[in-house]
Amino acid sequence: MSDLAPFEFRIHSRDGHARTATFTTPHGTVQTPMFMPVGTQGSVKGISAQELTEIKSQMILGNTYHLMLRPGAEMVAAHGGLPGFTGYPGPFLTDSGGFQVMSLGHMRKISEHGVVFKSHLDGSLVELTPERSVEVQQSLGADVIMAFDECPPFPAEVPYIRASLERTVRWLERCLNAKTRADQALFAIVQGGIHPELRQQSLDATLPFQTPGFAIGGLAVGESKDEMFPAVAYTARGLPENKPRYLMGVGHPEDLVAGIALGVDMFDCVYPTRTGRFGYALTDDGRLNMNSAAPRQQLIPIDPDCDCYACTHHTRAYLAHLVKAEEMLAPRLLSLHNLRYLHRLVERARSAIRAGEYQAWASEWGERYFRTQA
């Protein structure tokens, strides 16, 4: 992978296991730790490309599964890839599709060759293999593409998780053999559930491929936080120091704060936009329920420290009114604020790491976030 000239991961500061770095990609340089908004269908739900830039999003996540079914990888490629298709000019990362097939429950058959599933759009049978996933991800043109893996459900039997992680390693090799573009970085995914010995087996088999980054997969699938974080810690400690680490599908604000302490650099989750659509606003004092009575009387912003459009232009009373009236602006503005909240959270985390005060900052943040949470 030494032909990946445009990619560079440079660590700037460390504080315990936490670190700040810059990750240079063909579509721009991003600061880590970072949170990636999820743009499954070529849009971060309710948020324009212009707004993503305004709230200082850095890298946007796209999905192979959804885009290959509609509008098809060729249509995205006809726009020159995701930046041209979506209008967001910065870096993208695409997930490989297997996880979405399985979590959407349309999987028909999983075999060594790949997965066959029923399209949720027209019911047709579609096959996704490591080769096809890479082919689609090359058409989508993201800066970072993910290996085609299997994420076992939780709970699963140890022999199943072991067989699955071994197959994930064979699929990784097939992905790397299928890859032809030098301007995309392919990240491997470490699996192994919550079992240290299986995580170690996955690490031992995956690290020799020396991919330019590594993801921690297979977590946040139904296990408790007390089961998830030891697995994150164990896996992160086994990953190379000088490559980006991506904890897939995580998470809530407290998960970012905890994951960063364990040395995670990249996160993604639908949480900020989904909870925004349900009428919730993230603040340092916990999650504010805009469906409740109190905010309807409050002539203050969601968060006076937030620089997002919603907080600099509107009161809680106005936003709570929009929620109550079911105006479409409500989910948009709450999603915008929630995304900016997570971007600001990682910005503050980076400052604390640089200052060598991460632990103190994290416990102070957690103390306040959970003290007043409804």
Q: Residue 306: name its binding partner from Zn ion, ligand PRF, none (Cβ under 5 to 8 Å by kind).
A: Zn ion
Question: Helix count (H) and strand count (E) of the chain?
Answer: 15, 16
Measured from the CB atom, is 66 or 337 closer to Zn ion?
337
**Of the two residues 37 and 98, which places its CB atom closer to ligand PRF in the complex?**
98
Residue 308: contacted member of ligand PRF, Zn ion, none (CB under 5 to 8 Å, by partner type): Zn ion
What are the tokens at 343? 């971007």
DSSP category for residue 183: S
Q: Which does 220 bind (CB under 5 to 8 A by kind): Zn ion, ligand PRF, none?
A: ligand PRF
- Tell me which residues in 219-278 interact with ligand PRF (CB under 6 A): 219-221, 248-249
DSSP letter string, 47-102: B-HHHHHHTT---EEEEHHHHHHTT-HHHHHHTTSHHHHHS--S-EEEE-SHHHHH
Q: Which lies closer to ligand PRF via its Cβ, residue 247 or residue 320?
A: 247
**Are 31 and 20 in contact, with CB atoms under 8 Å apart?**
yes
149 interacts with ligand PRF by CB under 6 A? yes
Question: Residue 283 CB, nearest distance to Zn ion (Å)?
Answer: 9
Please say whether the beta carbons of 174 and 131 come within 8 A.
yes
Nearer to ligand PRF among residue 153 and residue 356 (C-beta): 153
How far apart CA 251 and CA 268 sit, in angstroms, is: 7
Q: Which x/- pattern, by CB under 6 A, does the window 88-107 give for ligand PRF?
A: -------xx-xx--------
* 151 contacts ligand PRF (rule: CB under 6 A): yes
Q: How far is the CB of 254 from ligand PRF (least distance, A)?
A: 16
- Draw the binding track, 308-347, toward Zn ion (x: CB under 5 A; -: no contact): x-xx-------------------------x----------
Which does residue 236 bind out of ligand PRF, Zn ion, none, counting CB within 5 to 8 angstroms by kind?
A: none
Handedness of CA 57, 13, 305, 286 (dihedral sign): positive
Q: Which residues does the annotation mark as catalytic?
A: 95, 268
Interface stretch with Zn ion, choices 110-118, 166-174, 195-203, 304-312 (CB under 5 A) = 304-312
Residue from 73, 306, 342, 349 binding Zn ion (CB under 5 A): 306
Residue in 64, 237, 39, 30 with CA at minimum distance from that of residue 139: 64
Task: Specify the stretch interacting with ligand PRF by CB under 6 A; choose among 56-64, 71-79, 146-154, 314-322.
Answer: 146-154
Cα–Cα distance, 223 to 161 (Å, whole number)? 14
Report what 255 binds from Zn ion, ligand PRF, none; CB cut-off 5-8 Å by kind. none
Q: Which is nearer to Zn ion, 144 or 306 (CB)?
A: 306
By rule CB under 6 A, what count of residues binds ligand PRF? 15
Residue 342 Cβ, how far from Zn ion at the closest point, in Å? 11
Closest CA to 148 of 104, 196, 197, 115: 115
- The residue (of 20 and 164) whose beta carbon lies closer to ligand PRF is 164
Number of residues that this document lists for the chain: 374
Cα distances (Å, whole numbers) of residue 374 to 88, 282, 288: 36, 12, 7
Q: How far is the CB of 98 from ligand PRF (least distance, A)?
A: 6
Contact (Cβ atoms closer than 8 angstroms) between residue 137 and residue 96: yes
Alpha-carbon torsion (105, 108, 111, 116), positive or negative: negative
The 214-253 site mask, x for binding Zn ion (CB under 5 A), equals: ----------------------------------------
**143, 93 contact by CB (below 8 A):** yes
Residue 235 to residue 253: CA distance in whole angstroms:
21
Q: Which two tokens stand for residue 290?
A: 């805009």
* Binding status of residue 218 toward ligand PRF by CB under 6 A: yes
Cα–Cα distance, 191 to 276 (Å, whole number) = 30
User: Which stretches of the chain bind ligand PRF, using CB under 6 A?
Assistant: 95-96, 98-99, 146, 149, 151, 189, 217-221, 248-249
Residues near Zn ion, by CB under 5 A: 306, 308, 310-311, 337
